[in-house]
Amino acid sequence: MKKILLLLIIIAPYFLQAQIKDSLPSFDDEYYLVKRGDSLMIELPEVEVLPKHKFSNRNDIHYYYWFKKKVFKAYPYAILASKRIDSLRLRLSKIPSKSKRRKYTKKIQKYLESELTDQLKKMTRTEGRVLIKLIHRQTGKTAFDNIKEFRSGWKAFWYNATANLFKLSLKTEYKPSEENEDYLIEDILQRAYINEELEFQKPKLEIESIAILQKEKGRVNVEEYKKMFAKMRKKRDRKKKKSK
């Protein structure tokens, strides 16, 4: 299921993971030596101040951080999707022949299929749903429309039909000002940017992120996930009873 969702969304073939070692700084104009008694004015970059989180109870914190892990896992895919789609779009614009463009796209598809299969199989349904939303956030188009652009409406239809079997839709849009889950995603991303936990990439979708988060005044609603886990526990308990 996870493989089907993104075969044609043109995301990177693998995660680019790099570890940068610490090094001594070079003392340029950004560093100042101040003697005792001196006064110095230094212009600092602006830092957005977000409202402090407000949870209904302490237990809700666990659900929030559970969902945060899902967002952190899906986000790098969305970042690379945007980069690769821009690159592919530029490359295709330089190929005059329609048949050659189609051949090139299929070649990229096969390459991505072989590279992505193992990684996407490890994604849960929640991560897949988050990824579909982040694809819309970062590329400005839904996963469905991206597939339609590079392949065809017919291909997009069938891939979406397959996603529907797993209660997912490639047509899902990202609406942080309207949908609670999307608001939580935006909250997690903005705080991660400030804390330098995630790579920042300007979304192609126009979002008034700070205004949306400030309007909610730090409210965190995780009832959807509490209900989901409650159902999972009941299902698990029923299976245990039957097995006895």
pLDDT tens digits for 139-187? Answer: 998 888 887 777 666 566 666 676 676 777 888 999 999 999 999 999 9
Burial group, residue 214, by CB count within 10 angstroms (0-12, 13-18, 19+)? middle
165 occurs within a structural domain: yes
pLDDT at residue number 116: 53
Q: Which residue has the higher pLDDT, 96 or 244?
A: 96
28 occurs within a structural domain: no
Helix axes of 59-93 and 223-243: crossing angle, nearest 10 degrees: 110
162 occurs within a structural domain: yes
Largest CA distance in the chain: 78
Alpha-carbon distance of 120 to 231, in angstroms, equals 25
Domain residues for the domain of 87 are 49-232
64 occurs within a structural domain: yes
Alpha-carbon distance of 23 to 14, in angstroms, equals 28
Q: Which residue has the higher pLDDT, 223 or 28?
A: 223
* Structure tokens given for 33: 């030596």
Alpha-carbon distance of 147 to 144, in angstroms, equals 5
124 vs 14, 155, 234, CA distance in Å?
Answer: 18, 24, 20
pLDDT at residue number 81: 79
84 occurs within a structural domain: yes
15 occurs within a structural domain: no
Q: Are 5 and 143 in contact (CB under 8 A)?
A: yes
* Structure tokens given for 233: 């526990």
φ and ψ at residue 151, rounded to 5 degrees: -120, -85
* Helix (H/G/I), strand (E/B), else coil: 127: helix
Burial 103-119 (b: 16+ CB within 10 A, else e): eebeebbeebeeebeeb
Tally of domains in the chain: 1
pLDDT at residue number 53: 94
User: pLDDT averaged over the chain?
Assistant: 76
Closest by Cα among 101, 106, 126 to 5:
126
Q: Are 142 and 171 in contact (CB under 8 A)?
A: yes
40 occurs within a structural domain: no
| pLDDT per position as a tens digit, 36-95 | 554 444 444 445 578 999 999 989 999 999 999 999 999 998 888 788 778 877 888 888
CA angle 53, 59, 60 (to 5 degrees): 45
13 occurs within a structural domain: no
